[in-house]
Amino acid sequence: MRGAVLWGTLGTLGLIPVLLAANSPLLGYRGVAYIIGGFAGIICLSILLVQPLLPAGYLPGVTAATGRWLHRWTGTAIVSCVTLHVGGLYITSPPDTLDALFLVSPTPFSVYGVIALWALLITALLVALRRRLPVGLRVWRLLHNALALVAVLATVIHAVQIDGAMEPLSKTILCGAVMLTTLLAFIDLRVIRPLLARRRRSA
């Protein structure tokens, strides 16, 4: 029962904003590349909602191993969505997209989009090179989580400032929920649990 409620809540929080955006009148005035690029961004935001929950083992019916496996797939989906997002925007308007990437865009939210982009790319690289990097698992996890935190925070700041296809209220709620799940997992896994473990060891 609790599992159904949790999954239902996550599904609603993640899907409603996408459905509302799909009904935006703005889509009728946009080309295919712009629509695909925009939705890639929106779907990315929705995936970020569950991304930290999967490996943490919080989700009912998902074992730790399955969670980590899913986390890798959703991570791949996030990187693919970001690529589609930037690519779709570039096809729609090369100068606006290059301005954003070179940090000379007049829009205040672009810089956060680029910060999130770099944080994600470095995260992907970190994942790909995990076995070859001369760092231990604990350091690797800390780096991974720190970059993820930057990516999520920057994505949320990026999203809330945009006047676009997303319906404002559902977007704000989704952004709040994304911050909540990210911080929850981070504080629980990297602060509270290590402290408890240390206390148990010293006791």
Partner 1 sequence: MHSPFYNRRSFLVTSGAVLACSALGAAGPAIAQGIAPTQSMRGGSNNYRPGAPLVEKLGNGFFVRGRVLRASDGAALKNVRIQIWAATTLGGEREPANHGSVLTRADGSYELEMEQIVPNFGQPHAHLAYDDRDFRQVFLRPVMPSAADRSVNADFVLVAA
Residue with Cβ nearer partner 1 (50 or 156): 156
Q: How far is the CB of 119 from partner 1 (least distance, A)?
A: 20
Q: How far is the CB of 156 from partner 1 (least distance, A)?
A: 15
Residue with Cβ nearer partner 1 (110 or 123): 110
The site for partner 1 (CB under 8 A) is made up of: 26, 28-31, 34, 89, 92-96, 98-99, 104-107, 109-110, 161-164
Q: How many CB atoms lie within 10 A of CB 95?
A: 9
Q: Which two tokens mark 134?
A: 């001369």
φ/ψ region of 105 (left if φ > 0, alpha if ψ in -120 to 50, else beta) reads beta
Q: How far is the CB of 99 from partner 1 (least distance, A)?
A: 6
Q: Residues 49, 187: contact at Cβ < 8 Å?
A: no
Q: Residues 43, 18: contact at Cβ < 8 Å?
A: yes
- Phi then psi for residue 30, to 5 deg, are -115, 155
Q: How far is the CB of 111 from partner 1 (least distance, A)?
A: 12
Q: Residues 82, 114: contact at Cβ < 8 Å?
A: no
Residue with Cβ nearer partner 1 (71 or 158): 158
Q: How far is the CB of 160 from partner 1 (least distance, A)?
A: 11
- C-alpha dihedral, 136 to 142 to 148 to 149, nearest 10°: -170
- Whole-angstrom Cα Rg for the chain: 18
Residue with Cβ nearer partner 1 (92 or 181): 92
Residue with Cβ nearer partner 1 (114 or 148): 114
